[in-house]
Amino acid sequence: MPIRLEPRGEASVAWVYLTPVLAVGLTVIAGGVLFAALGFDPFRTLHAIFVEPLTSLYGLTELGVKATPLVLIAIGLSFGFRANVWNIGAEGQLTLGAIFGGGLALWFYGQEGPWLLPAMILAGAVGGALWAAIPAFLKTHFNANEILTSLMLTYVATQLLAFLGYGPWRYPDGFNFPQSRMFCYDATMPLLVPGTRLHLGFGFALFAVAGGWLLIARTLIGFQIKVIGLTSAAAAYAGFNRNRIIWFTLLTGGGLAGIAGLSEVAGPIGQLVPSISPGYGFTAIIVAFLGRLHPLGILAAGTLMALSYLGAESAQIIIGLPLAATGVFQGMLLFFLLACDVLIRFRLRLGRPVPAAAVAKSAEAGA
Amino acid sequence: MQSNSLAGRAARLLGLGAGIALLASAALAEPLKVGFVYVGPVGDHGWTYQHDQGRLALEAALGDQVETTYVESVPEGADADRVIRQLAASGHELIFTTSFGYMNPTVRVARSFPNVRFEHATGYQRAPNVSTYAARFYEGRYVVGLVAGRMTKSNVIGYIGSHPIPEVIRGINSFTLALRSVNPEAEVRVVWVNSWYDPGREADAAKALIDQGADIILQHTDSPAPVQAAQERGVWAVGQASDMARFGPDAHLTAIVDIWDAYYIDHTKAAIDGSWTSQDTWGGLADDMLRLSDWNAAIPADVVAEAEAAKAAIMSGELHPFRGPVRNQAGEVVVPAGDIVPDGDLLSMDWYVEGVQGSVPK
């Protein structure tokens, strides 16, 4: 008997907010079965993944350290995604932010002052925004697909960083390894909790969450972003300038990714190295959608994602769970979220499809 | 006498007490927890796999005196600090961090845990509780160079480089010096893939080099893709890190295999008996830190004999791959005849010897 998906007229508001909880619950159950099948105690394993990282102040601050770049980038991306502007190149914008801000730290090495860090942060935002300006220009002038242009620029950014690390910015006493000197004190992020690694970047992430909410909920440009995303024809009819929105969303997205990159090199890393980010720019896309493009949702999703990384580490250390097993576990979480999403928007029907006319009629009735 | 018997009893008691304490400490002697931080997944070949083989050898050798933990695929950025710190904070007293990018994180964490001993592979920063260790893989490359010089028909050797760091450039130079010592016509072409593991790019690089006439492919990257490409195209290849013969049985001349077993066992023993000190180890063929895997049966016996003789000479110290005269690409003698390039210069090598085509990316 064929199974088909039939659109529900209106998604239940309660379920929109409940599905993430349901998905996490389903993941925990399925994960427990997986761990038991692998010969691990499921309760101890789940404890190691979800609870252990949160049992110390250090663990909690590390959660903030790990979530910072994810949340910063995802907030920036969410503006574009709401307006159907698909910036896939946040990883490259992050890299350029690190290059611009980190470059300033190296340029002024030995003549630093308290002005240096603010200048670096600004340079980081400018670097990321400039890198995102290229897809914006190509999109608005030549209608070039920003998915492709922004993604491809990521690889250019990586090569640029490698070039600088192997060449002009290489630490002269570093045995020709591709890394810069360590940044001086004035060029590193102040710590929010002494004795840990939680740095000012986390404050920026929280600020971005609040600012993101204000922008979308309370400003004209936020309203325009939403309208363009929902019905671009209506937006055009209302006289909204689509190009302006493309520029705005790409520049803010790029700027926030740039700040995220600068926060990494001026924060926990403390120097320019060829590998700044383990793919935060790409993971942030998942975080943005997990958080339903809502700032608070993104904060929660970014924290959950960060916890899953920390949990993977502690599960390896405490009970020797292979990384691949936690990888499957993370995959299950995404799978259940997407599956639940489908089920709130569609209902499963068994049997042959109802004639098209009847569907149209029921959709009309629903609307 | 009363006093004597009292003293005697006291002595007996003391002795008994000491005996009990000794017994108790033996029974309670907790295994030493040893942590390993890996840059890649363990898998079944390559850099991380070989470190994990060392870990398993350590467990087999020391049994319940040790308890090992590993964390795999740890990115070389901000995450490394946390993983190393967690290992130190969870009772691991000896921690091996097995990739260059863990250098600063290892030194940073070591400062907060003065009683934990750290060992960082392939770096150059040490501290009272941080040792460094690496292997002289260039010795293996030299032996392979002799074989390549005898086996090539086209006199073009393709070399797939990962990152242009001294370790890789040293390997290219050592190989080329040996190659041209037996075949002055041969030249080496290098393609950089800017990755330690990227099967797609490594395969493309191998094919491009074969198209340029290379009939032997060397790699300083981790994936078996170049060996597979060589097998497909009917040319020779040399495996890296692990024996890669099963990926291209006809193509595989030999492989330069990393061996960490003895190192991990010795240094863990030292940590257990208290003789561990911070030191820098750069071991070669003689220290059994690298081996050459079985020679391909198609290599003529005299070529194998020549290679084995060179290997023995390197192990005895009679032969040094970087003994002058060494010429740079311009043909100038940069190391006079008889001189040996000092370790410090080998460790920061950023120039090619004569016979390598192209220039070092700067």
Task: Give residue B282's pLDDT band: very low, low, confident or very high (50, 70, 90).
Answer: very high
Q: What is the mean pLDDT of residues A88-105?
A: 97
Whether residue B6 is predicted with pLDDT greater than 70 in this model: the reply is no
Is the per-residue pLDDT at A341 higher than 90? no
The answer on B71 and B101 residing in a single domain is yes
Tell me what pLDDT residue B21 has.
47
Domains in chain A, number:
1
Tell me how close the Cα of A195 comes to any Cα of chain B, in angstroms: 10
- What is the pLDDT at residue A8? 81
* B165/A177 CB distance under 8 A: yes
* CATH code of residue B207: 3.40.50.2300
Among the three residues B104, B135, B166, which one is the final residue of a domain in this structure?
A: B135
Q: What is the DSSP code string of A227-284?
A: HHHH-HHHHHHTT--HHHHHHHHHHHHHHHHHHHHHHHIIIII-S--S---SSHHHHH
In this predicted structure, what is the pLDDT of residue A355? 60
pLDDT per position as a tens digit, B184-240: 999 999 999 988 899 999 999 999 999 999 999 999 999 999 999 999 999 999 999
Tell me, yes or no, whether B6 lies in a domain.
no
* Token code pair at residue A67: 């979530």
Q: Is residue A351 part of a domain?
A: no
B242 and B96 co-located in one domain: no
Domain assignment present for A181:
yes
Q: Is B261 helix (H, G, I), strand (E, B) or coil?
A: helix
Residue B190: which H helix or E strand, with range? strand B187-192
pLDDT at A360 over 70: no
State the average pLDDT over residues A129-144: 97
- Does the beta-carbon distance from B77 to A269 stay under 8 Å? yes
In a domain, A247, yes or no: yes
Does the residue A196 lie in any domain? yes
With an 8 Å Cβ cutoff, is A191 touching chain B?
Answer: no
CB contact, 8 Å: B328 with chain A? Answer: no
Q: Measure the CA angle with vertex A145, ends A143 and A150; round to 5°.
A: 125
What pLDDT score was predicted for residue B308?
Answer: 98
Rounded mean pLDDT, B43-57:
96
B176 and B189 share a domain?
Answer: yes
Collect all residues with Cβ–Cβ distance below 8 Å to B354 and sequence separation of at least 6.
B176, B180, B327, B328, B329, B330, B331
* Domain shared by B233 and B191, yes or no: yes
Q: Which of A166, A273, A313 sits opposite B71 (nearest CB)?
A: A313
pLDDT of residue A338: 84
CA angle B290–B159–A167, rounded 5-degree value:
95
Together in a domain, B116 and B207: no
Q: What is the mean pLDDT of the segment spanning B86-100?
A: 96
Q: What's the CA gap between B245 and B251, in Å, rounded?
A: 8
Q: Categorize the per-residue pLDDT at A294 as very low, low, confident or very high, splitting at 50, 70 and 90.
A: very high
pLDDT of B9 = 54
> Does residue B236 share a domain with residue B116?
no
B131 has pLDDT over 90: yes
CA angle A145, A147, A149 (to 5 degrees): 70
pLDDT at A347: 84
Question: Does residue B306 belong to the interface with chain A, where contact is any CB pair within 8 Å?
Answer: no
Q: Is B360 a domain residue?
A: no
Q: Could you tell me if B83 lies within 8 Å of chain A, comparing CB atoms?
A: yes
How many domains does chain B divide into? 2
Residue of A52, A57, A175 best to disrupt the B interface, most CBs of B under 10 A: A175
B124 touching A, CB under 8 A? yes
Query: DSSP 3-state assignment of A48?
Result: helix
In a domain, B186, yes or no: yes
B151 and B181: one domain?
yes
Do B69 and B209 lie in a common domain? no
- How many CB atoms sit inside 10 A of residue A293's CB? 20
Same domain flag for B215 and B330: yes
Question: How far is it, in rounded angstroms, from Cα A186 to Cα A109?
Answer: 10
* The model's pTM: 0.88
Alpha carbon B54 to chain centroid distance?
11
pLDDT, chain A, mean: 91
* Structural domain contains residue B278: no
Residues belonging to chain B:
362
- For residue A277, being part of any structural domain is answered with yes
Contact B72 A264 (CB under 8 A): no
Q: Give me the pLDDT at residue A167, please.
A: 86
What ipTM was estimated for this complex? 0.88
> What's the domain range around A185?
68-301
Taking only the tens place, the pLDDT of each residue in B287-312 is: 999 999 999 999 999 999 999 999 99
Considering the domain architecture, whether residues B302 and B233 belong to the same structural domain is answered as yes
Same-domain check for residues B234 and B184: yes
Cα-atom radius of gyration of chain A, to the nearest Å? 23
In a domain, B272, yes or no: no
Put simply, the answer to whether A317 touches B73 (Cβ < 8 Å) is no
Is residue B315 situated within a structural domain?
yes
- What range does the domain containing B194 cover? 138-257+291-347
A339 located within any domain = no
The A residues from 241 to 270 touching B (CB cutoff 8 Å) are 264, 267-270
Q: What is the mean pLDDT of chain B?
A: 92
| Assigned domain for A87 exists | yes
Residue B295's CB is within 10 A of a number of other CB atoms, namely 16
Asked if the structure places residue A357 within a domain, the reply is no
Among A201-205, A305-309, A312-316, A362-366, the range scoring the smallest mean pLDDT is: A362-366
What are the Cα distances from residue A260, in Å, to A126, A338, B3, B83, B133? Answer: 12, 27, 79, 21, 34
Whether residues B248 and B320 fall in one domain: yes
- Does residue A229 sit at the B interface (CB-CB below 8 Å)? no
